[in-house]
Amino acid sequence: MTETFSIRKYLRDLKLPFCPGCGIFTIMNTFLRAVHELGYEDLSKFVFCSGIGCSSWICSPYFKADSIHTPHGRSIPVATGMKLFHPDRDVVIFGGDGDIVGIGLSHFIHAARRNLDALVIMVNNMVYGMTGGQVAPTTPFKTKTTTTPYGSFEQPLDAARLATTAGACYSARWTTAHPKELRESIKKAIQMNGFRFIEVVSQCPTAYGRRAGFKNVGEMLKWFKEDAIQIQQVEKMSRRELEGKIVIGEFVERRRPTIVENVYAMIKDVQTHGR
């Protein structure tokens, strides 16, 4: 059986701006395919929010939907106000690693803590791509970037694990070399409540790959495939064996009361009992 599917039905009639070989194409395709497989004929169930950076352009303005493109790192607070006042829509946030866990890190942790009803999809290209390839909080140790010309001297942040610790209901990490797993993960996350986080390790051949020593996109995807370790295997491995590996899989899946549930329960209580 041949299934005909085109993401065009979800997109505005605009030319996409991303570089050839960018991982964003895979992520955009995978997200919309997940939405399609869940049976949504359009995006009217969702409101999209994003900050600044290449991946913040995924939804804004290309998705045919309500979308709010905020200042750098501030998509989560804007989404918080929007979701609290208007809880009917499903909020999906797109952002890069710099946006979500660099400048926006505090908002990210607090949103997980307060269990904001939103799905955050973080495209982790391990670099500030839009500004030309500067070191990011996610850049692997010793990697050369434009602001670490002799190699990065800092340890990268593990966003999927941080989200888990901070209280997320769902946290997972995949790479653009794992589109099927990513699609199933997005489908699951869309159907869950509370704070959901999916990190997608993605290739930026333009601003990261060529300086980090990758000849082409294929080499980067090969890296993702070969160095990806399923989270179930982590326990059996030593710290040394894990060095430089990309841990993929689902870090947590649980149910906690969300902020929307808690706030509206409080309002009801105040109005019923006057306290």
Binding site for other proteins (CB under 8 A): 12, 14, 44, 47, 49, 60-61, 64-71, 74, 76-86, 88-89, 106-107, 110, 263, 266-267, 270-271
Smallest gap from Cβ 4 to other proteins, in A, equals 24
147 in Cβ contact with 135 (< 8 Å): yes
Which residue type is seen at 119?
Answer: L
Based on CB atoms, which residue is closest to other proteins, 44 or 216? Answer: 44
183 in Cβ contact with 37 (< 8 Å): yes
Smallest gap from Cβ 216 to other proteins, in A, equals 28
Smallest gap from Cβ 39 to other proteins, in A, equals 19
Alpha helix stretches (DSSP H) within the chain: 24-37, 75-85, 97-98, 105-113, 159-166, 179-191, 210-212, 217-227, 231-234, 239-242, 259-273
Which of 65, 36, 26 shows the shortest CA–CA distance to 48?
A: 65
Based on CB atoms, which residue is closest to other proteins, 3 or 41? Answer: 41
Based on CB atoms, which residue is closest to other proteins, 46 or 223? Answer: 46
Smallest gap from Cβ 268 to other proteins, in A, equals 9
| Nearby residues of 97 by Cβ (< 8 Å), 6 or more positions away | 122, 123, 124, 125, 126, 136, 137, 138, 159
The DSSP code for 236 is T
Based on CB atoms, which residue is closest to other proteins, 85 or 150? Answer: 85
Smallest gap from Cβ 103 to other proteins, in A, equals 10
Q: How far separated are the first and last CA of the chain, in Å rounded?
A: 60
If you search the block for the tokens 């409540």, which residue do you land on? 193
Smallest gap from Cβ 132 to other proteins, in A, equals 15
Based on CB atoms, which residue is closest to other proteins, 63 or 197? Answer: 63
Smallest gap from Cβ 150 to other proteins, in A, equals 32
Smallest gap from Cβ 49 to other proteins, in A, equals 8
Based on CB atoms, which residue is closest to other proteins, 41 or 88? Answer: 88
Which of 204, 229, 233, 238 shows the shortest CA–CA distance to 219?
A: 204
Based on CB atoms, which residue is closest to other proteins, 55 or 143? Answer: 55
Q: CA angle at residue 28 from 44 to 103, to 5 degrees?
A: 95
Based on CB atoms, which residue is closest to other proteins, 60 or 125? Answer: 60
The neighbouring-strand residues paired with 197 are 120, 171
Rg (CA), the chain: 19
Dihedral angle of Cα 90, 96, 160, 28, to the nearest 10 degrees: 60
Sign of CA dihedral 70, 22, 253, 246: negative
